Copies of this chain bind each other. A is one copy, B any other.
Amino acid sequence: MTAIKENSTLNANRENNKATCPVSYVMSKIGGHWKPVILYHLMSGPKRYSELKKLIPAITEKMLIQHLKQMQQDVLVIRKAENIVPPFVTYSLSFEGEELKPILDAMVEWAFARDFKA
C-alpha cells in the first residue's frame, strides 16, 4: 500500500505491460512471493487471519495483511469481521477469486509434470 513514485521508467514499463499484456495483468494481481500461496490456502475454504498465519509460517504479519488488503482492493478476496473482542476475521475467495482456480490448477499440474516434488 506504499505510495508509488510516478516518474520512473521501471513503473512506466510495468504500467504499460499491465495495460497491454493480459498475462502481465494477471501477474500484477497474483504475482509476487506470497499472493499465490495465500490464494492457494484460501482455495480450500475461508480462513481466519490467524489460521493463514499458521498455515504459512514463513510469512510475516506485515506481508500477510498487506497482500490480503491488496487482494481485497482487487476484489479477489472478501473480508468478513465479527464485531467482537478478541476480533474474529475471516477471509474467503470472491467469485473472481474462485475463477483463478483453473490458472492455479494448471500451474500445479505443470509443476508436478516436471521435477517438482512436494
How many copies of this chain? 2
On whether the beta carbons of A107 and B116 are closer than 8 Å, the reply is no
Size class of the A contact interface (CB-based, 8 Å): 35 or more
Using Cβ atoms and an 8 Å threshold, which residues of chain B touch A31? Answer: 27, 31
Q: Which of B13, B39, B108, B110 contacts A58 (CB 8 A)?
A: B13
Q: Are B25 and A33 in contact (CB under 8 A)?
A: no
Contacting pair A17 B33 (CB below 8 A): yes
- Chain B residues lying within 8 Å of A36, measured Cβ to Cβ, are 21, 23-24, 27
Give the distance in Å from the alpha carbon of A102 to the alpha carbon of B102 in the complex. Answer: 9
Given known A-B contacts A23-B36, A23-B111, A116-B22, A58 and B17 have beta carbons under 8 A apart: yes
